[in-house]
Structure 1
Amino acid sequence: MAESKEQDALLKRINELAHKNKEEGLTEEETKERDRLRKEYLKNFREAMRSNIEMMRIFDKEGKEVTPEKVREIQRKKGLRDD
């Protein structure tokens, strides 16, 4: 949950800067801050998405596991699988 609050705070500030940019423009310092915040937000998002995907197990309609082998290997390396 802490990551979510951090992401919410980043997004809030990014949106504040976007609004200010539309209204009156940004200073050079604010532009640098916006760019830094965007990169941090995307980095965090990608890490969370990767983690979610790596934790998933996929099953077909018959109940047979069809998780891609690449994901299974990652899960094995992380000790999430014992097969």
Structure 2
Amino acid sequence: MITKEMIDRINYLYHKSKNEGLTDEEKIEQSKLRMEYVKEIRQRVKQQLDSIKFVDEDNCHDDCCHHHHHH
């Protein structure tokens, strides 16, 4: 789970890397944090996509699919 502390640590390491550089241990930590963050974001997006229901236009009632009317 992405926590505020995790975000704060990612931001801290990013700024430290730009200003003074990171130790090897911090570089490894930064890499792990970023991978965990991206993994969770991907899972959230997948869950959202999996929950989308597509309307099957062939099964739609006449009153909701006006573009199928032929006059």
Answer yes or no: same fold by TM over 0.5.
yes
RMSD over aligned Cα, in angstroms? 1.5
SS state at 1:25 partner: coil
Residue 23 (structure 2) pairs with residue 17 (structure 1): no
Normalising by structure 2, what TM-score?
Answer: 0.69
**Aligned sequence identity (%):** 36
1:9-65 Cα offsets, whole Å, 9 max, x none, are: 32221111000011110000000000000000000000010001001124xxxxxx1
Residues 45-56 of structure 1 correspond to what in structure 2 (within 5 A)?
45-56=41-52
In the alignment, structure 2 segments of 5+ residues that lack a partner are 57-71
In the alignment, structure 1 segments of 5+ residues that lack a partner are 59-64, 67-83
How many pairs align?
A: 56
SS state at 1:13 partner: helix
Structure possessing the higher radius of gyration over alpha carbons: 2
Letter in 2 for 1:33: E
Normalising by structure 1, what TM-score?
Answer: 0.60
